[in-house]
Amino acid sequence: MTEDEKEFRNTRGWTRPASAALGGALAGFAALATAELVSAAVRPQSGPVVVVGGAAIDRTPAAVKDWAIRNFGTDDKLFLQLGVLFVLAVFAIALGMAALRFRRTAAVGVLLFGAVGAVAAISRPDSNGLSDALPSIAGAIVGAVLLLFLAGRLALRGPASEGETTAPESGPASGPPAGQGWDRRGFVVAATAAAVASTGAGVLGRALNGSSGRDAVASRDEAVLPAPVSAAPALPRGVRLRIPGISSFTTPNDDFYRVDTALVVPKVNARTWRLSIHGKGVRRPLSLSYDDLLRRELIERDITLTCVSNEVGGPYVGNARWIGVRLSELLSECGVLPPSRGGPADQLVARSVDGMTIGSPVEDVMDGRDALLALGMNGEPLPFAHGFPVRMVVPGLYGYVSACKWIEDIELTTFDDYDPYWVKRDWARRAPIKTQSRIDTPKPFARPQAGPVMVAGVAWAQHRGIDKVEVRVDDGPWQEARLAAEDTRDTWRQWSLAWQAPKGGHTLTVRATDRTGRVQTERRARTIPDGASGWHSVVVTVD
């Protein structure tokens, strides 16, 4: 190959555009790594992927969100973040290619991405103001400078480079020998250095962000829940059916479903946490510390929590033993009266440290049910993912209208005056839990042997109680299932039916009847606006 041919390859081949693409990707990577490191100094929730992802969550139409939860389950957040990263990577590569010709414009493009991140950061509901914009801004500046520099190495120089920008601002004088070409060595060195430095910054930022909740972790580790004055009664005998594959009566914390909008689980320091209660009809506003709550009379209750996004047969339901303060007691101390006794507020809006708002009917919270400000879950302080230090739990209401995690503020208001987060997104203002039942075993498309097969599962109608569960095989008659003993009417109930399974394909269907005598409706409803309805069926093939 002649020198001329080499030069031709050097300028016209694929390596230059490929390097440009790589340069763009590196600039994007450096920007994110810088942002990660700076967010460790500001706070983990201020990173660009988190804030842009959070803004995307808030703007996602309910139907799409529903779809995402259905398809990705609790991994929906991971997929969202990967999606944000993918979009960023595509744009970074495009900007890198554009920088071959329009170096300054491409750098400005990087800065624009930073601006998007900065605006998203400032407009998060839990934003700390301008400081939250720092990670995005710092990242964008580093990314833009790196892109300028790398594109400088790629600029063609020398007399024969007409038609391409000769880019006088490019690079140091110690570039390549004069002549047609670009600074390959300079590019490789700079790109390698940038990759190494960015990886270092990213890893360090990750590590710092990971440990940033140290104070919060320490405050949870040292928290000791006093014995409740009113302990939950021992579980009645016969609450648990010993059937393989059935949901355990008490859901262990690690298996408890999680549904929230938080891309980063808030780590709240209980030592500095406070809860305020204020608003309409609050004659004596309160501000409480974690210790204030621990010093109060605590009660312990088994309560089954359910998500309104749970499909018929879905997994977003769990039962735990909660320890907490009676919410109605605190409200009464503040002088709050329920609407039925003339109180002016009919909606209690709980606000979390991450800006979630959840509205519950004041009437329900004060009607004598065990509405809790919960501190403990299954014998330990709340796990961070489930709301440490304090969350609400109200028997009989879906989580999105009752179970605010990481709560820090309670405002008494009216349904007319204020729409909380999910209501703004077309979910119902009021949402009592619908009677539901689920077949846990056999699993869909199972192939049991002909003969005795245990059909079993759970049924729930919190605060009304379950009185009957029936199972139907194909189009046969409804057969009454055996019901496990009831713990309380606020908890789910296990059930089972011994089935003599004949060979062939069969559809098993379940329905429950609650204590008001109402049979679970067959009418199919979507989750939005106020919870799914319909009967759960499982198709099996008996061999």
Ligand X SMILES: Nc1nc2c(c(=O)[nH]1)N[C@H]1C(S)=C(S)[C@@H](COP(=O)(O)O)O[C@H]1N2
Residues at the site binding ligand X, with contacts judged by CB under 6 A: 256-261, 305, 307, 352, 354, 356, 386, 399-400, 403-406
- DSSP letter at 160 equals T
For the CB of residue 388, give the shortest distance to Mo ion in the complex, in Å.
18
DSSP 8-48: HHHHHSSHHHHHHHHHHHHHHHHHHHHHHHHHHHH-GGGSH
Asked whether 312 and 527 are in contact (CB, 8 A), the reply is no
Q: Which CB, 117 or 318, lies closer to ligand X?
A: 318
Q: What does 528 interact with, of ligand X, Mo ion, none (CB < 5 to 8 A by kind)? A: none
Contact partner, 460, from Mo ion, ligand X, none, Cβ < 5-8 Å per class: none
Choice between 54 and 152, CB closer to ligand X: 54
| Separation CA 41–CA 48 (nearest Å) | 14
**What are 407's two structure tokens?**
């709560």
Report what 401 binds from ligand X, Mo ion, none; CB cut-off 5-8 Å by kind.
none
Q: Which runs of consecutive H residues, i.e. helices, occur in 337-486?
A: 362-365, 421-424
Among Mo ion, ligand X, none, residue 389 binds (CB under 5-8 Å by kind)? none
Q: b vs e for 109-139, b when ≥16 Cβ sit within 10 Å of the residue's Cβ? A: bbeebbeebbebbbebebbeeeebbbbbbbb
Strand partners, 274: 289
Q: How far is the CB of 261 from ligand X (least distance, A)?
A: 4
Q: Which does 256 bind (CB under 5 to 8 A by kind): ligand X, Mo ion, none?
A: ligand X
The listed partner (ligand X, Mo ion, none) that binds 305, CB under 5 to 8 Å by sort, is ligand X
Cross-strand partners of 459? 437, 493
CB of 363 to Mo ion, least distance (A): 21
403 binds, among Mo ion, ligand X, none (CB under 5 to 8 A by kind): ligand X
Contact 150, 23 (CB under 8 A): yes
Q: Closest distance between ligand X and the C-beta of residue 225, in Å?
A: 17
| Residue 321 site contact among ligand X, Mo ion, none (CB < 5 to 8 Å, cut-off depends on kind) | none
- Residue 507 has φ and ψ, to the nearest 5°, of -110, 125
Q: What is the end-to-end Cα distance of the chain in Å, rounded?
A: 71
Q: Which does 386 bind (CB under 5 to 8 A by kind): ligand X, Mo ion, none?
A: ligand X
Q: Which is nearer to ligand X, 49 or 307 (CB)?
A: 307
The set of residues, in sequence order, having a beta carbon less than 8 Å from that of 468 and lying 6+ positions away, is 480, 483, 512, 513
Q: Which does 260 bind (CB under 5 to 8 A by kind): Mo ion, ligand X, none?
A: ligand X
Rounded to the nearest whole angstrom, what is the least distance from the CB of residue 402 to ligand X in the complex?
8
Tell me, what DSSP letter sits at residue 425? T
CB of 451 to ligand X, least distance (A): 38
Q: 398 near 420, Cβ under 8 Å?
A: no
Of the pair 336, 403, the CB lying nearest ligand X is at: 403
Nearer to Mo ion, 187 or 400 (CB): 400
Smaller CB separation from Mo ion, 28 or 432: 432
**Cβ closer to Mo ion: 154 or 307?**
307
Contact between 53 and 263 under an 8 Å Cβ cutoff? The reply is yes
DSSP letter at 181 equals B
CA distance 389 to 136: 30
- Reported as half-sphere exposure (CB side, CA atoms, 13 A), residue 255 has a value of 12
Rounded least distance, CB 81 to ligand X, Å: 16
Q: How far is the CB of 393 from ligand X (least distance, A)?
A: 9
As measured in angstroms, the least distance from the Cβ of 302 to ligand X is 15
Smaller CB distance to ligand X: residue 46 or 513? 46
Q: Which is nearer to ligand X, 75 or 474 (CB)?
A: 75
Sign of CA dihedral 286, 419, 61, 523: positive
Question: Position of tokens 């049924």?
Answer: 459
Q: Pick what 296 binds: ligand X, Mo ion, none; C-beta below 5 to 8 Å, kind-dependent.
A: none
- CB-wise, 325 or 401, nearer to ligand X? 401
Query: Which listed option, Mo ion, ligand X, none, makes contact with residue 147 (CB within 5 to 8 Å by class)?
Result: none
Cα(479)–Cα(473) distance, rounded to whole angstroms?
Answer: 9
Q: Give φ, ψ of 374 to 5 degrees.
A: -85, 140
- Side-by-side strand order, sheet with 347-352: 286-289, 274-279, 407-413, 347-352, 357-361
3-state secondary structure of 331: helix
The residue among 404 and 483 lying less far from Mo ion, judged by its C-beta, is 404
Q: Is 228 helix (H, G, I), strand (E, B) or coil?
A: coil
Binding site for Mo ion (CB under 5 A): 259, 307-308, 399-400
β-strands 451-460, 436-441 pairing: antiparallel
Amino acid at site 444: P
Q: Which is nearer to Mo ion, 65 or 103 (CB)?
A: 65
* CA separation for the pair 427, 258 (Å, rounded): 19
Q: How far is the CB of 45 from ligand X (least distance, A)?
A: 13
Q: Which residue has its beta carbon closest to ligand X? A: 399
Minimum gap (Å) between residue 458 Cβ and ligand X: 16
Report the nearest approach of ligand X to the CB of residue 503 (Å). 41
